[in-house]
Amino acid sequence: MLQPHVLSVCHVLELVLCLSAAEDFDWTKNHRGSFYYGTFPTGFSWGVGSSAYQTEGAWDKDGKGMSIWDVFTHKKGKVIYNETGDSSCEGYYKVKDDIALLKELKLNHYRFSISWPRIMPTGIKSDHVNEKGIKYYDDLINLLLENKITPIVTLYHWDLPQVLQERYGGWQNLSMINYFNDYANLCFERFGNRVKYWITFNNPWSIAVEGYETGEHAPGMKLRGSGPYKAAHYIIKAHAKVWHTYDNQWRSKQKGMVGISLNGDWGEPVDITSQKDIEAAERYIQFYLGWFATPIFNGDYPQVMKDYIGRKSAQQGLGTSRLPTFSSQEKSYIKGTCDFLGIGHFTTRYITQKNFPASHGPSYFTDRDLAELVDPRWPDPGSEWLYSVPWGFRRLLNFVKIQYGNPMIYVTENGVSEKMTCTELCDDWRMQYFKEYINEMLKAIKDGVNVKGYTAWSLLDKFEWDEGYSERFGLYYVDFRNKNKPRYPKASVQYYKRIISSNGFPNQKEAENWHRKAIETCSSSNQLLAAEQQRTTAANILRLIHDPLTSHMEMVTEIVVPTVCTLCILLSAIFLMFLLRRHN
């Protein structure tokens, strides 16, 4: 028998080992390895995503109330070219067409969001429930299930009812927690017999930082260094409340799960041997993903946020930290309120330490004391912020595994945009992005990360918030100039379809073949699109001839741009055919 003191030494050692295993991500190890040929675990779920405001259109139809995005986009100067989501992809009228696209991809799940003001026009249940809005989502859910596609439903993808903004100041007000809970409860009541995967919030980081710090997003507030922390605080509490509501009232009957979808770019230390850079990179991640994940998994904000914001607040002469605090009851109420974690991930940054004196004034960005850098060799085909750095995805997933006790993960957003006037259906760079990011996810699963599903972002080109329609994330191209908003498959549809049907990457030869075949099909889709655009242009010319008040601007946007685009598409189709001939 071992002596008691020996036992206690073992016990302490075990505890130390356990604690360090639970908390330590090894920043110094970054073996990227080569492409991994292999398949995903059986039952892995493949999907695509969308969100209500970005795709539905019908902003004022069938009793829908206004959201903060309806109001924000109707103000001049908030969105590129003052574009709005008024009609967007007309998804509200195209449920059948869009489900046909999902079927074509042979997907397992579809992630979409419910527009709160569509089903509760003022956001307040006792005011009015809009049955026409409920019917729209009922039909969508039923049709998905008839086609054996699992709905993954987001309750809040940024479109807060405007009344709640006007009356209470939106997420700056505690009362949002109860209003959101009432809304979620109604969704569980009306849809929960069929929906088994619920996501409370999509990317709360954006809601807080872009909505209340920079004001680039609705509601456009610039409450630097305090607004975002307050918004996040109420969002975290609202999430926890909704999770408890489901747990207490619905779980035993409906047997579903409630999670949250958090976004996080990866932050890699510029110098992997510098302790300061490692700490800065960790701060970057803690202020991003950790801000929300740490309370939800561990009960409180990351220590580093408490330290940095607390110190800067004191230096700025404030009596209390700009970061709110949770009471001990709140901590235990919030901890563990996540049946699965949604991860949205697009890109990576290099991070180095950089001090910002407190005299710069309060700001989320300077609170972190770091600088973000990018490698100029990283491909950046689309959005300014989106560099393709696939290995960052595996690093992030491993970080989540280690920090939060290997939770069940669904990747809820991953994809890439293009920024071109003349859209190319042969989206080589997107196929490359998906291939490499999905492969890094496969490596992460081999590392032991518990990823159960993947959602490509997004099904369609759509309204990209303050970027309007200038950035296209879709697997399907949408012709926004045509009133019918027709959808055309890009090459990545074929490519993603092959990954899905093979449940991964069986071998090099096949994966290369997929790429070649996808390029072949897209050149004929290009021709189809060009022909359709010619017809639209001709119809527009006829319409304009009959309308003497037509402005010069309309001529430019409705005739010149489409004509140039059509020519571009035709030329690229001819060029591709030429290349393919030479190749064969």
C-alpha span between 279 and 582 (Å, rounded)? 53
Closest CA to 216 of 418, 416, 460, 468: 468
Residue with tokens 């729209």: 136
C-alpha span between 489 and 347 (Å, rounded)? 24
C-alpha span between 344 and 347 (Å, rounded)? 10
CB closer to ligand BGC, 59 vs 473 = 473
CB closer to ligand BGC, 84 vs 202 = 202
Angle, CA of 270, 273 and 274, to the nearest 5°: 70
- Rg (C-alpha) for the chain, rounded Å, is 25
Is 471 in the active site?
no
CB closer to ligand BGC, 321 vs 492 = 492
Q: What is the DSSP code (8-state) at residue 290?
A: I
Residues 196 and 254: beta-carbon distance below 8 Å: yes
Q: Quickly list DSSP for 38-107.
A: EEPPTT-EEEEE--HHHH---TTSTTPPPBHHHHHHTSTTSSGGG--SSSTT-GGG-HHHHHHHHHHHT-
Tell me the closest approach of the beta carbon of residue 514 to ligand BGC, in angstroms: 25
Tell me the closest approach of the beta carbon of residue 252 to ligand BGC, in angstroms: 32
Tell me the closest approach of the beta carbon of residue 31 to ligand BGC, in angstroms: 29
Q: What residue type is assigned to position 514 of the chain?
A: W
432-437: long-range contacts at Cβ-Cβ below 8 A with a sequence spacing of 24 or more?
432/379, 432/388, 433/381, 433/388, 433/390, 434/492, 434/495, 434/496, 434/499, 435/495, 435/499, 435/505, 435/511, 436/35, 436/388, 436/390, 437/388, 437/390, 437/393
Closest CA to 133 of 111, 117, 146: 117
CB closer to ligand BGC, 85 vs 269 = 85
Residues belonging to the chain: 584
CB closer to ligand BGC, 141 vs 460 = 460
Tell me the closest approach of the beta carbon of residue 466 to ligand BGC, in angstroms: 9
- Coil, strand or helix: which one is 198? strand
Tell me the closest approach of the beta carbon of residue 83 to ligand BGC, in angstroms: 14
Give the active site residue among 90, 282, 413, 558.
Answer: 413
CB closer to ligand BGC, 85 vs 362 = 85
Q: Is 262 exposed, middle or buried (0-12, 13-18, 19+ CB in 10 A)?
A: buried
Tell me the closest approach of the beta carbon of residue 345 to ligand BGC, in angstroms: 9
Residue with tokens 């074929």: 494
C-alpha span between 546 and 537 (Å, rounded)? 14
Tell me the closest approach of the beta carbon of residue 113 to ligand BGC, in angstroms: 9
Tell me the closest approach of the beta carbon of residue 174 to ligand BGC, in angstroms: 25
CB closer to ligand BGC, 339 vs 413 = 413
Cα–chain center distance at 410: 12
Q: What residue type is assigned to position 508 of the chain?
A: Q
Tell me the closest approach of the beta carbon of residue 382 to ligand BGC, in angstroms: 9
Tell me the closest approach of the beta carbon of residue 550 to ligand BGC, in angstroms: 33
Residues 118 and 136: beta-carbon distance below 8 Å: yes
Q: Which residues bind ligand BGC (CB under 6 A)?
A: 51, 54, 202-203, 206, 263, 344, 413, 464, 473
CB closer to ligand BGC, 265 vs 282 = 265
Q: Quickly list DSSP for 342-368.
A: EEE---EEEEEE----GGG---HHHHT
CB closer to ligand BGC, 213 vs 277 = 213
CB closer to ligand BGC, 51 vs 286 = 51
C-alpha span between 345 and 415 (Å, rounded)? 8
Give the active site residues: 413
